[in-house]
Amino acid sequence: MIERLAWVTTRGARGRDEDEPLVLPALARAGVAVDVVDWDDPHVDWAAYDRAVLRSAWDYPDRLAEFLPWLDRVAAATDLVNPPATVRWSLDKHYLRDLDAAGVPITPTTFLLPGEQADLTHLAQGDFVVKPAVGAGSRDTATYGPEHHDVALAHVARLHAADRAVLVQPFLASVATDGEWPLVYLQGHFSHAASKRVAVPRAGAVEDLFAEETNAPHDAEPAQVAVGDAAMEVVTGLLGTPAYARVDVVRDDDGGCCVLEVELVEPSLFLPYAEPAAVDRLVGALVGGPRSR
Ligand SMILES: Nc1ncnc2c1ncn2[C@@H]1O[C@H](COP(=O)(O)OP(=O)(O)O)[C@@H](O)[C@H]1O
Ligand SMILES: [Mg+2]
């Protein structure tokens, strides 16, 4: 029985998670006592909870050296959702290689580890994106044009100097015009989709915890769900079924559907577009789902 649950956030995210006001009352109705706690609060007694649910710890990419040991510490004291191995896999976009190796279509990606020289010449004709391998909320992500190679190289060098691996991708034109489509999976089953547009700076930087987003409901197309399902099959094969997951798909420049991101750390679940059914499904996953340890 899950009677006490820690809903894990961070100070700067309080009041900003759109899923939270829908889920907390539903958990209360299900008889669960929930505390909203900051992940880095040293006074939290994690062992006092039946489960800790990682929800809006949005500052972890900048505090990885604290966050990674925290995952293991909390998972030793209680049932952490999603479990540490799942979180670790998903917080580094190198997972795109696992998807690619399994034949799941991904956004074309070049990885640059610290110390590796960035060569942008193959991108010379078009727009491209530079982003950190460990990142969230579009922070430290920027788009560039062929005229920006020097600024982009400085961006790569800045991330490398902070010992952060970098992804360089061609800028997929449809992301600017049509946005991206988050597909939400609860207990491994497709639940609902949304449409999301993110204001990513051109040759600039996001200052807040996350870039501004414009979101809307979306009826997922079968081709999108097929790609989401394929990504989830890889996830499930490697890590077991996550309580919640989000696969963000985009349209590539040939009109096909590919994965931009798989978010298993603290995905926004776009519940306002799918309540009350998705809220009930999430509560079912959190209250009834199997323990991860
Ligand atoms: N290859 C790309 N083409 C076009 N836009 C992109 C591309 N990669 C990222 N973006 C934009 O940058 C945003 C952040 O990138 P994303 O891969 O989702 O990382 P995160 O959400 O983890 O910060 C996306 O929402 C999208 O708007
Ligand atoms: Mg994203």
CA of 133 to the centre of ligand 1 (A): 11
**How many helices (H) and strands (E) in the chain?**
8, 13
pLDDT at residue 122 in the model: 75
**DSSP-assigned states of every residue in 52-99:** EEEEE-TTGGGGHHHHHHHHHHHHHHSEEES-HHHHHHHHSTTHHHHH
pLDDT at residue 41 in the model: 98
- 188 lies in some domain: yes
Q: Which of 121, 154, 170 is the last residue of a domain?
A: 170
CA of 152 to the centre of ligand 2 (A): 20
Q: Same domain for 97 and 202?
A: yes
Backbone angles phi, psi at 50, to 5 degrees: -75, -25
Q: Which of 170, 187, 214 is the last residue of a domain?
A: 170
Q: Same domain for 156 and 258?
A: no
Residues with CB under 5 A from ligand 2 (ion): 261
Contact 204, 252 (CB under 8 A): no
- Atom from ligand 1 closest to the CA of residue 169: 1
Q: Same domain for 125 and 201?
A: no
Ligand showing the shortest atom-to-Cα distance for residue 177:
1
- CATH number of the domain encompassing residue 157: 3.30.1490
Q: What is the mean pLDDT of each run of 10 residues along the chain (293 residues)?
A: 96 96 98 98 98 96 96 98 98 98 97 90 83 94 93 94 96 95 98 95 84 94 98 98 98 97 98 97 88 58
- 38 lies in some domain: no
- 183 lies in some domain: yes
- 152 lies in some domain: yes
- 189 lies in some domain: yes
Query: 135: which DSSP letter?
Result: -
Structure tokens at 256: 């096909």
Q: Which domain holds residue 131?
A: 110-170
Q: Same domain for 161 and 202?
A: no
Q: How many domains does the chain have?
A: 2
Q: Where are the beta strands (DSSP E) in 134-188?
A: 142-144, 166-170, 181-186
pLDDT at residue 228 in the model: 98
Q: Same domain for 116 and 244?
A: no
Q: Same domain for 180 and 157?
A: no
Q: Same domain for 156 and 264?
A: no
Q: Same domain for 186 and 232?
A: yes
- 70 lies in some domain: no
CA of 261 to the centre of ligand 2 (A): 6
Q: Same domain for 159 and 203?
A: no
- 224 lies in some domain: yes
Q: Same domain for 257 and 180?
A: yes
Specify the residue for token string 């700067």. 12
Q: Which of 170, 204, 221 is the last residue of a domain?
A: 170
CA of 205 to the centre of ligand 2 (A): 15
Q: Same domain for 143 and 177?
A: no
* Ligand 1 site, CB within 6 A: 107, 129, 131, 135-138, 141, 169, 171-172, 175, 180, 198, 200, 248, 260-261
Q: Same domain for 134 and 240?
A: no
Backbone angles phi, psi at 190, to 5 degrees: -60, 130
Q: How many residues does the chain have?
A: 293
Query: Which residue has the least CA distance to atom 27 on ligand 1?
Result: 198
